[in-house]
Amino acid sequence: MGNGTSSTSTGGNVGATGGAGTGGTPSGGLVVATSDILSALTDSACVGWSSELEFSPPLLEFIVDTSGSMAEVAKNSTTSKWAITQSALSNALNRLPESAGVGLLLFPNMNTVPNHNDSSIPPVVLPVESCVNAAAMVPPAPLGSVGSAQRAALAQALTNAYVGGGTPTNDALAYAFTMGLTPAGTRFSYLNPSVVIITDGQPTIQFGCAGTGSAAYPVDWHPLVDTIASISYSTPPIPTFIIGTPGSEAQSFTGADGRPWLSMAARLGGSAQTTGCLDSGPNYCHYDLSPSIDFATDLAAALGDIVGRAAPCSLALPALPNGLQLAFDHINVLYKQNVVVGTPTVQWLVGRTLDPTCAAGTSEGWYSSGTANEIVLCPNTCARVHADKYAAVQIVGGCAPL
């Protein structure tokens, strides 16, 4: 989307503390800003101030399991877990703004060959190319408009995926991080990088491409979790979102429950869904899709939620002239849709909500983050604005005398 801009402040809150200018208790929502509403904003003008508000585009590095178990048919479906993942991921990418950076590494995306079959033998450390098709990685780059080279590369990679082999999750993560999320790898700057891992099971190949790759001989997951934790403490911090697909609740052959370590990975990776989540469940910290009745729908929802969390929705407000302070109950937020010269622009009055989950009666609106000089758009409103290449956000009012 284009930069959100805040022009000169021209009014107090139309609806006092009401939602979308309706009066009463703040309840969020979106209403078309009619000429009457715009006039009311102008008529109740306070001392003016101006500033530009900009959204920093996100960078998402997807690391997706294509091991042999992903070829299995998903529960309550006639379609493989990989086919559903492929479709849902394609749809999620289409929701991202053109300015977003996206990279993709499928793993192993090749046939893996065991380099030792006896766990008592010291692992033979091999280069990442021995168990991950690193050459097929799509390095992060801005998505661009429909038909762009980056969108075409991502679509081609998903289409050409090889489904089979073992599960070298740690090798894939380390390679994607080094070549995609470090300054040397990206060659362009993003302030909001994130990792998204989609997998159905425990690693069967240890770092250094060591292991049989067989589900009958899973390897220790602790080194992988340690890698995820270290990435979350990078500069800038990089959260790792974890999606556990059906099958993660009972590993093939061993029957081990993989959800506790997936939850731990999400928690230590800085992407826990709720503050009260537990690695022991049932409220796991990762996106647990193991009980999913409709995997396609639930995966699309999880990816949509991650996109909403990764695409920043907070807007820093400017410092006001001397003698004025911000007053959140006097702020009005206008979303100007499709601001292009020569085309009609629809203006929406975005209502304030006191519910930071944006679930109380509406999924649209804005709220105070609790931080001075900052407001946050509800996820649906944020996604709406991010998807609008020519969006502008105007703050109207928002000042009161000391």
Which residues form the domain of 390? 5-55+313-401
Same domain, 126 and 15: no
pLDDT at 30: 84
**Last residue in a domain, options 310, 342, 364:** 310
pLDDT of residue 323: 63
Give the chain's domain count. Answer: 2
The confidence score (pLDDT) of residue 166 equals: 95
Same domain flag for 219 and 79: yes
Given this model, what pLDDT does residue 137 score? 97
240 and 296 part of one domain: yes
Q: Which of 365, 246, 309 is nearest to 92 (CA)?
A: 309
Q: How far is CA 105 from the centre of its chain?
A: 16
Residues 137 and 245 in one domain: yes
Residue that finishes a domain, picked among 310, 327, 359: 310
- The reply to whether 167 and 75 lie within a common domain is yes
Residue 134 shares a structural domain with residue 173: yes
Specify the pLDDT at position 35: 83
Give the separation between CA 79 and CA 94, rounded to whole angstroms: 22
| Same domain (yes/no): 164, 244 | yes
- What is the pLDDT at residue 27? 75
The pLDDT of residue 223 = 94
Same domain, 174 and 322: no
Low pLDDT (below 50) residues in the chain: 2-24, 47, 49-50, 400-402
Res 54: pLDDT: 61
Do 390 and 285 sit in the same domain of this protein? no
- Domain at 236, CATH number: 3.40.50.410
Q: Can you give the pLDDT at residue 340? A: 66
From 310, 328, 355, give the residue that closes a domain.
Answer: 310
Residues 155 and 76 in one domain: yes
Q: Residues 333, 218: one domain? A: no
104 and 49 housed in the same domain: no
